Amino acid sequence: MLAPASYPSPKSVQLTLLGSSSSLAISLDNQQLWVAQGATVDIPLSARVLSNGVPVSSRTVEFQVLQGTASLAAPASVSDLSGIASNSVHLANLGGGVLISACVMPGNVPCQNFSVTAVPASAQSLQAVSGTRQALASGQTLRPVVVRVTDVTSPPHPVIGATVAVQDIVSRIDPASDPLNIGGILIGRNPAPVVITSSRFAMISDNNGQIAIVLSPGNASGSVQIQGTASAGVGVIGFNLQSFAQ
C-alpha cells in the first residue's frame, strides 16, 4: 500500500513597510494688501514654510514680482527657526495692482502670491477706532485719536499709505455766568469758547491702515476743549476732547 502523497503547507510572509511622507506648504501673512493709489511705501512681506504643519527652517524662499511695478529688498530669503522667510517690497507712486510670488526652493514648489490693490482717493473712507470723545480732569493725559483708512467695499479693507488731513482747534471753555432775569424770564449766558490756537496737518496711514493723532492743550490753563476732524477720500471723522479744570 502506497502512502498518500503529502504536500508541505505554503508559507506566508507578512511585511510591514515603514515610511514617511513630507508635504511642504507655504503660507503668507497679509497675503492681500490694499494701498492708496499714488502712495510711496515700504511693506514687509512674510512667508512661512511648513512640513505637515511643522515650521521648517533653513529653506530658501524666492520672491519675484510677477505683475506691476515694485522693488524687492532681496530676491530670496532663508526661513528661520519659526519657518518664516522675511522680505519687503518698495512701492513708488503706486499706479496699479502688483502681484508678487513666494516660492520654496529648489523647484519653485510650493508657491503662493501676494497681491496689492491700488485704492484711489474716491474709494477711500474712514473708521473711528478710539479716542474720538474724551472728557478728563485737567492734568490727565489725553489718549491719541486713532482712525483707520479703509476702502468702500463691504466688508471694508484697511488701506496703507493713504493721506489723512487733520485740522483741530484748541479753545478755552469759560464757566457759564449767572442767568439774566428779564421780566421773570431767565436767560442763560454761555460765553463762546475763546480760540487759543488751531492747526492743519497731514498724516499717512500705517501698515494697519491707521493713524494715531496725538493732541494736547499745550500751556493753556483752565478748562480746554479740542475739536477737529480727520478726513480721507469720502470719509470724515470728528473728534471732541475736553480737559476740565478742577
Same domain (yes/no): 191, 218: yes
Q: How many separate domains does the chain show?
A: 2
**Residue 66: closest CA among 25, 113, 107:** 113
Nearest in space to 61 (alpha carbons), one of 31, 113, 112, 105: 105
**SS3 per-residue string spanning 127-196:** EEEECCEEEEECCCCCCCEEEEEEECCCCCCECECCEEEEEEEEEECCCCEEEEEECCEEEEECCCCEEE
Q: Model's pTM, two decimal places?
A: 0.82
Best CA proximity match to 225, nearest among 119, 134, 158: 134
Q: Does residue 103 share a domain with residue 181?
A: no
Looking at the domain assignment, is residue 179 inside a domain?
Answer: yes
pLDDT of residue 181: 55
CATH of the domain at 82: 2.60.40.10
- Domain boundary residue among 119, 148, 174? 119
Domain-ending residue, one of 75, 92, 119: 119
The answer to whether residue 16 is domain-embedded is no
pLDDT of residue 193: 72
Residue 240 CB: number of other CB atoms within 10 A?
13
CATH code of the domain covering residue 153: 2.60.40
Positions in the chain whose pLDDT score sits under 70? 1-22, 175-191
List the domain range (segments joined by +) for residue 150. Answer: 122-244
Q: Are 149 and 114 in a shared domain? A: no
User: Is residue 31 located within the same domain as residue 129?
Assistant: no
pLDDT of 244 = 86
Residue 18, pLDDT score: 40
Greatest Cα pair distance, the chain, in angstroms, is 149
Regarding whether 157 and 99 lie in a shared domain, the answer is: no
Measured between alpha carbons, how far is 165 from 170 in angstroms, rounded to an integer?
17
Domain boundary, last residue among 119, 142, 165: 119
Verify that 90 and 114 share a domain, yes or no.
yes
Say yes or no: 93 and 42 in one domain: yes
Q: What is the pLDDT of residues 207-229, one digit of tens each?
A: 999 999 999 887 777 888 999 99
